[in-house]
Structure 1
Amino acid sequence: MTSIGTGYDLSVSTYSPDGRLFQVEYASKAVDNSGTAVGLRTKDGVVLAVEKIIPTNLEVPGSNRRIYPIDKHIGFASSGWLPDVKSLVERARDEAWEYQSTYRVPTSPKILSERMGLFIQAYTLYSSVRPFGASPMMACMDEDGPQLIVFETSGAYYGYKGCATGKAKQLAKTEIEKLDLENMSIRDAIKEAARIIYSVHDDSKDKLFELELSWISEESNRQFCKVPKELYDEAVQYAQKSGDSDMEDDEDL
């Protein structure tokens, strides 16, 4: 047997000779085949943007969303296999409700991150289950300010200033690295998140898509919610205008 996967990918609990868990890596590939999700953390809030691919124009707009509220001050966005995304969302909501019912205070983002990380990791330990094909990013605010946390398919989780998952994550990360997030306002971050989603979208493969935008900031009263329609429309116009400008520059070259 070799370490390229043959014989070592039959069970998630089996390591290959070079210490890899192939089913966890396969789950990451499921995330990479999904629409792009972007998270930006600024000095006064966090914005989450998702490129929701629409397989047919018969689909009802707004259905099968990929951004979900978990608690008033916590929200999830995710690339990956949608049933797994929804399963993790329900688990996070249950954890948030249990914490609040026990301690009579809103869920601590740190505690929720630890519990969700352990839950995801538990599905990499037993041969009777499979890893989640989803990589949620969590936007929240606590006493330390805005927080952006991303969970990997292995159960590991990290705090980020800016992150991206999905099929165009590398292109999106390149665009995020150009931004001065520490000095950017949340309204500017909304525009930039929309611009990044529009710029990395591949019209040749997925012509139809829907942009989802949600935020949490002082301006939203520290509550996770959809971006107001006027800000959403302004962000879309900015993204489309930026895309047209890039096309004109390419034609000049």
Structure 2
Amino acid sequence: MAPQPSEGAKTAAASSSANSASSAAPDSPTRTLCGGLRDQHLLCLHYREDQRHGKIPLGCARRWLTLEQTSIGTGYDLSNSVFSPDGRNFQVEYAVKAVENGGTCIGIRTKYGVVLACEKIITSKLLKPGTNKRIATVDRNAGIVTSGLLPDGRHLTNRARDEASSWRNVYKAPIPISALASRVGGYVQAYTLYSSVRPFGVTAILGGWDSEADSGVDGQVGSGPKTGAGGKVDAAAVNKGGPGLYMIEPSGLYWGYYGAATGKGRQSAKAELEKLELQDPNCSLTLEEAVKEAARIIHIAHEDSKDKEFELEMTWISGLDGPTKGRHQPVPQDLLEEAEKAAKSK
């Protein structure tokens, strides 16, 4: 008669069988899908043999799948040119997150011009005041403010300047704000198509004034045509210009706005901009009033980061009969101080 196993052996065998079944269960979050574990992640260890190079790792959608089976990335965020099964581009979404952690930037468009304002967070008391500006001039009739990664913003600003310069060389006139937004938006979108690049970690707000004056042709032999860029357009059909405000997102998407906001305090800023009813044709907000409103809105949006010091940076642009004569310029210091004082008192 064969010897019967002891009670201890039965218990051990049952425990071993249960553990084996548990590890093989399809719903167990700790099962090894692709290979080994590292830092609480399942790491893909698939490879192929190569006579010259030995073992070569293979890519896998499960490479950085967490033990909790979360839906964050799951391997589809490793390349900028790959969509997830539900149609998401995670690299672009991560770039948007970088913008959401940046300082608040806003743009206000009125019938008299455009105001750009930015909350520049002071990260160290040793920083020289007035440096690392977030607002820049693109052309004499256009300005740009960026929120997010400062180096990315500088590169995008330089690209916008190149586009404005190219337009001026060809058409002998300042670039329209809509055309500038289209070109910069296309450039940003190109950085979402290839695995060798990453999206821009900035959202840009473009503001400017399309000139009301007829554009003559400069620098050509002879008198040249008298009206329009190249003289191809009848004087009556020339767009007499006006203010323009556009916001370009990390995906390359851009829209025209009456009031735009981005950055950490964008929700509070948008709520305040909506109260101004800038889209109303009867809105009579002057540029000076828009400067004061912009300062007030930036201070309200700063409540989310009130433990940090910040500098208020602001520029404006008006029509040919306004205070800036159609040029993008910093807001005068006395008006800026008055606006800040009024904003702090509210």
Pairing partner for 2:83 from 15, 19, 26? 15
Q: Which residue of 1 aligns with 2:164?
A: 96
5 Å-filtered alignment, 1:1-253, equals 3-142=71-210, 143-181=240-278, 182-202=283-303, 206-217=307-318, 218-242=322-346
Separation (CA, whole Å) in 2 of partners of 1:63 and 1:188: 27
Separation (CA, whole Å) in 2 of partners of 1:47 and 1:165: 15
Q: Quick one: structure 1 residues 125 and 179, their matched pair in 2 at CA, closer, same or farther if it must change by over 3 Å?
A: same
Secondary structure of the residue that 1:202 maps to in structure 2? helix
Deviations 1:96-149 (A, max 9, x none): 111111221112222211111110000000000000000000011113411110
Which segments of 5 or more consecutive residues in structure 1 lack a partner in the other structure? 243-253
TM-score (norm 2): 0.68
Separation (CA, whole Å) in 2 of partners of 1:206 and 1:177: 27
Separation (CA, whole Å) in 2 of partners of 1:4 and 1:18: 12
Aligned partners of 2:177 and 2:207 also within 8 Å:
no
TM-score (norm 1): 0.92
Separation (CA, whole Å) in 1 of partners of 2:304 and 2:79: 37
Which segments of 5 or more consecutive residues in structure 2 lack a partner in the other structure? 1-61, 63-69, 211-239
Query: Partner amino acid for 1:196?
Result: I
Separation (CA, whole Å) in 2 of partners of 1:204 and 1:155: 28
Q: Which residue of 2 aligns with 1:250?
A: none
Separation (CA, whole Å) in 1 of partners of 2:307 and 2:180: 34
Aligned residues: 242
What RMSD over aligned residues (CA atoms) do the two structures have, in Å?
1.4
Separation (CA, whole Å) in 2 of partners of 1:74 and 1:110: 11
Worse-superposed segment, 78-87 or 181-190: 181-190
Query: Partner amino acid for 2:302?
Result: H
Separation (CA, whole Å) in 2 of partners of 1:3 and 1:122: 26
Separation (CA, whole Å) in 2 of partners of 1:91 and 1:204: 31
Q: Going by fraction, where is helix more abundant, 1 or 2? A: 1
Separation (CA, whole Å) in 2 of partners of 1:240 and 1:205: 12
Q: Which residue of 2 aligns with 1:249?
A: none
Structure with higher Rg: it is: 2
Worse-superposed segment, 151-160 or 215-224: 215-224
